[in-house]
Amino acid sequence: MSRRRFSVVSACIYAFLAVFSLFCLFPMVLTIIVSFSDENSITAHGYSLFPDRFTLDAYRLVFSQGRIIFHAYLISAIVTIAGTFLALLVTSMAAYTLANKNVKYRNGLALYFFLTTLFSAGLVPWYLMCQKLGLLENVWSLIVPNLMFSAFNMFLVRNFMDSLPGELRESAYVDGANDLRISFRIYLPLCLPVLATVCLFYALGYWNDWFNAIMLVSDKDLYPIQYLLLQIKSNIDALSMIPKGAQMATIPAESTKMATVALTIGPIVLLYPFLQRYFVKGLIVGSVKG
């Protein structure tokens, strides 16, 4: 009887999760379908899973300058890979320092980092600092400003390290290892779940960033894909405001917006399944341990 009850409860839970998953998947599927929909069909019937006519006009418009698009993808890939690696390195080293009970004033340093989540110096000091550091018109302009680690990510990694037995560090000290060797040979391998979680956070931040390109870069060869697609979308919105009688043809404004979304989320959607199991474990363990 209990076995049957358990089966019924499990079936209900799985059914609920399946329905919930479909609801979560619906916006992504709708976005992809609309990106292949005819503009006249969207204007007449709105967004639909079953449009009257499919077309590649939006993707033809986006890829009308293919070399520029692929170059922007390359810039975004370089910035995301390099920036994520460097930010993860800085974050993990800071977290290890604050998790080390032998470090003096580590609680004061933790308070200092926490204050950065409450106060900001503002846009003008940020820009002047980037200017003084030479972070204008180069690829480092897209990496270094976001390299200053997020305090939330740092505390997440620190809390995970606090959950590890302190005897690991003490025994390594006895064997003659220094902090650099302890962090890279012992702590970081054990912190793989939370590091994968933080890695995903940083990768998302770098991949979706367009603000640094607007503020610090004017060379088109350095435009990341997000900023380039933002420019394309802005140009299409401007053209769509022209009276229809003055336009040469119907501009696929709505389908192009969805096409840009589909193009930008692709790499992240492909990356997430590889980090999912680490993401869940690292987020839970790193957040509940104080």
Residues 30 and 82 in one domain: no
Residues 33 and 86 in one domain: no
**Per-residue pLDDT, 204:** 84
Question: Tell me: the pLDDT tens digits for 2-35?
Answer: 455 557 778 888 888 888 888 888 888 888 888 8
Q: How many helices (H) and strands (E) does the chain have?
A: 14, 0
The fraction of the chain above a pLDDT of 90, given in percent, is: 2
Higher local confidence (pLDDT), 275 or 230: 230
Contact (CB, 8 A) for 252 and 57: yes
Smallest Cα–Cα separation from 143: which of 203, 188, 68, 73? 203
Residues 34 and 74 in one domain: no
Question: Tell me: the pLDDT tens digits for 59-89?
Answer: 887 777 778 888 888 898 899 999 999 999 9
Establish if 60 belongs to a structural domain. no
Q: How many domains would you assign to the chain?
A: 2
Higher local confidence (pLDDT), 106 or 239: 106
211: containing domain: 65-288
Residues 165 and 72 in one domain: yes
Close Cβ partners of 135 (under 8 Å, ≥ 6 residues apart):
141, 144, 145, 216
Q: What is the CATH number of the domain that holds 188?
A: 1.10.3720.10
**Per-residue pLDDT, 146:** 82
The overall pTM is greater than 0.85: no
Residues 127 and 45 in one domain: no
Establish if 151 belongs to a structural domain. yes
Contact (CB, 8 A) for 276 and 268: no
Smallest Cα–Cα separation from 147: which of 205, 190, 106? 205
Establish if 3 belongs to a structural domain. no
Establish if 143 belongs to a structural domain. yes
> What's the rounded Cα separation, in Å, for the pair 251 and 118?
44
Residues 127 and 36 in one domain: no
